[in-house]
Amino acid sequence: MKAAVLFRTGAPLRILDAVEAPPPGRGQVFVALSHAGVCQSQVMEVRGGRGPDPYLPHLLGHEGVGRVLAVGEGVTRVVPGDRVVLGWIKGQGLDADPIRYRWRDLDLNAGAVTTFNTHAL
């Protein structure tokens, strides 16, 4: 997948090809994204307005729209093919483990939701 990744605050995001996502685990959904929004909190984060970022490099994006491709164990509210809206506010459901994407030999951190990428877990 492609992803826009923050490597250094105050610097442009880098567009990476061949970012790898693990298969969906318990409580996780794998989504092909079609749209993403840009919120002020993400702009502030990129610019360093939240102070030093201990999670660099990491994927960003707090809201988006897409289609479910696969679901992990325990997921009962959506099935592959469903259209979904992704948001950073926690909803009902299982608490899933944090996600680590990979690019080459590098771990890429991610929050509960990332949408500046073509696919998201």
Does the structure show a pLDDT above 90 at 89?
A: no
Give the count of beta carbons closer than 10 Å to the beta carbon of residue 60. Answer: 24
Predicted TM-score (pTM) of this structure: 0.90
Output the pLDDT for position 99: 86
Structure tokens at 2: 């492609």
pLDDT of 92 higher than 80 = no
Owning domain of residue 53: 3-120
pLDDT of the residue at 84:
97
Domain count, the chain: 1
Which pLDDT score, from 0 to 100, does residue 88 have? Answer: 84
Overall average pLDDT of the 78-104 stretch: 87
* Cβ burial 70-107 (10 Å sphere, 16+ → b, else e): ebbeebeeeeeeeeeebeeeeeeeeebeebebebeeee
Average pLDDT across the chain, whole number = 92
Specify the pLDDT at position 94. Answer: 74
Give SS3 for 6: strand
CATH number of residue 44's parent domain:
3.90.180.10
Neighbours of 62 (CB within 10 A): 22
